[in-house]
Amino acid sequence: MKKVVYPLLFLTVLLFNSSRDNFSSGSAYMPILMERTELEKSVKFREAQTIENPGKIYYKDKTIFLNEKYKGIHIIDNSDPRKPLAIGFINIPGCIDMAVKNNSLMADNATDLVSVDISDLANLRVTGRLQNVFPETTPPDLEYIPYMFTATNRPRNTIIVGWEKE
């Protein structure tokens, strides 16, 4: 009798746990989605923004490029290190990493890799885009995207550009 009970108990627990993901994502975060067409038009120069969730930093020619996780890059004039001056913000949804070479800034725009000409900061222009180079980001409290938020379970042609706490 014991040989039958334990396998049935194990099977019941296994089935319960696997179906639980259909009712709850297991994450305290909800994805921020953007349509692909909007993503490809999203890289723009904007006025300086408040630094809220800083990430990586890059320094070039007395200019600081500071990542605002999942949102873009702050541009700070550091000609006088005692008085750094915020001069603008590059809107890049889904951005968490960047690099600069010569006058090109390379950054992740969610799943895409974009190259931006920064020789004239007021007139930024995207000079290249490689689509779907990176995987979509996972919520901060999980190492995977919950099934309910995978590409097959959300509106077509949408990409995760960030996560917000529920």
Q: Where are the alpha helices (DSSP H) in 31-145?
A: 36-39
* Residue the block writes with tokens 């706490």: 165
Digit-coded pLDDT (tens) for 23-52: 467 899 999 999 999 999 999 999 999 999
Average pLDDT over residues 142-148: 93
Spatial separation of the C-alpha atoms in residues 67 and 69, rounded to whole Å: 6
Cα-based torsion angle of the residue sequence 165, 75, 40, 109 in order, rounded to the nearest 10 degrees: -50
pLDDT at 29: 95
pLDDT at 24: 64
The tally of domains found in the chain comes to 1
pLDDT at 19 over 50: no
Predicted model pTM: 0.82
Spatial separation of the C-alpha atoms in residues 146 and 61, rounded to whole Å: 42
CA distances from 4 to 7, 8, 10, 14, 148 (A): 6, 6, 10, 16, 34
Expressed as residue numbers, the domain containing 75 is 2-165
